[in-house]
Structures are given as structure tokens and as C-alpha cells.
Amino acid sequence: MTTETATLHIEGDSYEFPVITGTENEKAVDLRKLRSTTGMITLDPGFANSGACRSSITFIDGEKGILKYRGYTIEDIAQKATFLETAYLLIYGTLPTRDQLDDLKYQIKCHTMLHEDIKRFYSGFPKKAHPMAVCSAVVGALSAFYPEFTDPDDTEADGGIIRLLAKLPTIAACSYKHSIGQPIMYPMNNLEYTQNFMQMMFATPCEDYEIDESVSRALEILLILHADHEQNCSTSTVRLVGSSQANLFASMSAGISALWGPLHGGANQKVIEMLERIEDGDGSAENFVERAKAGDDTARLMGFGHRVYKNYDPRAQIIKKECRDLLDKIGGQSKLLEIAMKLEEIALNDDYFAQRKLYPNVDFYSGIIYKAIGIPVNMFTVLFAIGRLPGWIAQWREMRQDNDFRIGRPRQIYVGPVNQEFKPVDER
């Protein structure tokens, strides 16, 4: 029980509010009784200084560049865990035993196929539809196909959790196949999670698809690095939608939609577009950086800086190494990687970026890996969604089981007109 308090002085009156301390020594002023005590609320656009919940899932220290899942460093998890181990850890709170992991794999393999009627959805979408639009729509439609997992009183939702983990890669791959006019490939349950996704993406009925272990492992690491990241835009969306007791499928569909935005999940696509412009002759890396510093809107340096990290994004360190290793294994040179590394070298040695604490983030190198393994640019954000799914599920589940569970309902400061007189339409 905390004894530390914070004092707020308003118009000559003083109010005491408790200070809550987290297990990593983060501190927050508990303002739950602010309005009832003082009649006032806080104003915090973007909620950058507001804690919406207490969570035991993910910890970030942006100043030191630290990211942990359930107390395990991201470096340890990325090096030693599989994606499904990571998913189990995030959702259920502990690393799985061998039996638990085998059971999870078995259950997922039992549910990778989509209901045949869902295939009709794809024929109704235009070929040029963005895969994120398709994925969001199909995930939301799972509520209709599995109504037994939409009980608002079910805080465990294990049946829905398994189906989401199993089916989202299938849903994503089907959206890609539809967009290029190829037949949908059924999952092959003798393959591991990322391998299965790759064969659904790239195999055809004409010939077998050869699985490259280094490629599937690189993809797995990317999924792990994206698996959760505290209360970001899409995660907060999942929690807010879920706070109305919306079912798991509806909440995940909302998360996918939030992730779609270019300021969130679409950032790595912007990085690739930037690197391709430089490759196509839009100035050298040095020239591009100088134009960016000068505020040239045609030379925005994408993939640098993060709202949370004021140090090097630990995920970017891992991806940078994985990017080099992957290209060495599969052969060939990447001009985009060379440009990216040159941009990073210039920026890290430039006081302009150092003073503003602008370091490469997870998006800076991830797109290069996706492109190297053949993922089309419009599928980058879809891969992000597959990776982030365990974190969304874990956050939704934790929120539903929280003793403080209540519907989300932010306040506002009204700044509109007052006391207007309504006039009949002919007098306006």
C-alpha cells in the first residue's frame, strides 16, 4: 500500500492524490477521484501523459532503450523463443512447458482453415482492395461464423483466441492471393507457423514451394519483435472497443483498422518508399539528410524517432543484425540496405539528430527484410498485424479480467458556441 502522495493546488485549495509505483519503479498520480473531488479533469491530447490501465504484459523504458515481455528482455525472447512461445507468454503470463507448447501448436493446426463460405467474401472485394481492409473485414466477420465465442461474460475466450492465432495468417495470405488473381492455397499443417504462412503466400497448385529456413526464421523474429508494445494506438483501440464488452473478433478487427494508419503500422512502407526514391536518383543519402534537416517536405527522413524511445529502439538493433545475416544467407546485395545503413551512419554522427534524440526505430529495417523475402509492400502492415495479434489478445484478456474493468469513456473540454438561438429554416 502506497503512502506517497501528490498535492494539487487549485484556487487556494489543496488536494491529495495517491502515487502508484509499478514494479519497474514507474510512478503515476492516481487521479481517478479528480473530478469527483475537484470538479475538474485533465487535458492530455494524444494521452501521452495518461495511464489508462495497470498492466503486467509489457514494460518499456524509452530513455534507456529497454523493452521487456513479462519481464524477459526482447533480446532474449528474439534470440531464444519461437513466435508461438512468445504468444503464449504474452497471453497467459508464463513461458509454456513442452506439453503446453505442443498443445498450443496442435490446437492451432486444427483451426488454420477458413470456413468455405468465407471464401465468398474475397470474391466480393475488388482486386485492388488494400489487404488491411480485407483482413479487418474478415476478422470482424468471424463473429458471425463463431457466435459461440462472442459471449460478453466470457473473459477467457480461449476458443476465439486459438481461432484468431490460427486463422489470421490464412486470412492474410488469402487477401494477397485474391489481389493478384491466383487461387487460394490451403494451409499445410505439417509446417510450422511462419512456414505455413509463406507457403500460403507464395505456393501455387502448379508446383511445390520450397521453404527456406533462414527466411522463415527471419520472419518469425519480425513477428516476435512486433508482438506487443504497451499502450500504443492500436492496442488502446482494442482495449477501448473491448471495454464495451465487444467480442474478441470485433475488438481485433478494430485493432487492425487502427494499425493501418501511416503514423502507426504503415510506417515501414514509408521507409521503403523513401529508400526507393533515393535509389531512383532523388539525391544521395547525404543530400537527402541535408534536405530533411532544412525542412524540405519532399525529403522527410522516415524510420527515425519514436514517441516512446528517446534512445536507440532495441528492436531496431535486432532487426539490423537480422537484416545483414539474412542477406548473407540468401545471397545477393541490397541497394536499399546500403542506402539505409548510410542514412543511419550520417544521422548517428550528426548533432542535429543526436540533440533531438532521433534514432532508427523498428520500421527502419523491417521493410528491407520483408522486401528481401518477397513480401509485397502493401502486405507490410498485414505482417505487422499478424505479429501484434498476441499482444492485442493479451491486452484484451487482461482488461476483461481486471478488477478495475469499466467501459472507456474519455472526457473533453468543450470549446464550441454557447446559448445559440434556433431559427426556423426560412429565417436563417
| Reported confidence tier of residue 107, pLDDT bands at 50, 70, 90 | very high
pLDDT for residue 28: 95
Rounded Cα distance, 243 and 237, in Å: 10
Quick one: pLDDT at residue 2?
A: 54
The C-alpha torsion from 373 through 376 and 377 to 380, rounded to 10°, is -70
Whole-number average pLDDT of the chain: 92
306 is catalytic: yes
pLDDT at residue 335 tops 70: yes
Please say if the pLDDT value at position 1 is more than 70. no
pLDDT for residue 93: 97
Structure confidence at residue 3 (pLDDT): 76
Measured between alpha carbons, how far is 133 from 130 in angstroms, rounded to an integer? 5
What is the reported pLDDT for 269? 86
Residue with cell 528492436: 315
| Predicted confidence (pLDDT) at residue 170 exceeds the cutoff of 90 | yes
Of 13, 363, 402, 426, the active-site residue reads 363
Q: Domain ranges for the chain, please list them.
A: 5-43, 70-264+377-400, 268-372
Q: What confidence tens digit (pLDDT) does each residue in 199-226 have?
A: 999 999 998 889 899 999 999 999 999 9
Average pLDDT over residues 292-298: 86
Architecture of the CATH domain 268-372: Orthogonal Bundle (1.10)
In this predicted structure, the answer to whether residue 333 has a pLDDT above a threshold of 70 is no
| Residue 332 pLDDT class (50, 70, 90 cuts) | low
At 363 the pLDDT is 87
Is it true that 70-264+377-400 and 268-372 share their CATH fold? Answer: no
pLDDT, residue 176, reads 96
What is the mean pLDDT of the segment spanning 398-411? 94
Confidence of residue 340 (pLDDT cuts 50, 70, 90): confident
- From residue 245, alpha-carbon distances to 132, 137, 293 in Å are 24, 19, 46
List the one residue out of 261, 254, 249 whose CA is nearest residue 237.
Answer: 254
| Active-site hit among 178, 229, 306, 313 | 306
Q: What is the mean pLDDT of residues 382-387?
A: 97
Q: How far apart are CA 4 and CA 1, in angstroms?
A: 9
Instruction: Verify whether residue 426 is a known catalytic residue.
Output: no
Which has more confidence, 298 or 234? 234
**pLDDT, mean of residues 311-325:** 89
Residues 347-376: what's their mean pLDDT? 87
Is the per-residue pLDDT at 262 higher than 90? Answer: no
Pick the CATH number of 70-264+377-400 from 1.10.580.10, 3.30.70.890, 2.40.50.140, 1.20.120.80: 1.10.580.10
pLDDT above 90: residue 361? no
User: What is the residue whose three cell numbers read 472497443?
Assistant: 241
Task: Give 196's pLDDT tier (boundaries 50, 70, 90).
Answer: very high
For range 366-375, the mean pLDDT: 88
Mean pLDDT (whole number) for 234-245: 97
Say how many C-beta atoms besides its own lie within 10 A of residue 116's C-beta: 7
C-alpha distance across the termini of the chain, in Å = 61
Per-residue pLDDT at 52 exceeds 70 = yes
- In whole angstroms, give the CA distance from residue 162 to residue 373: 27
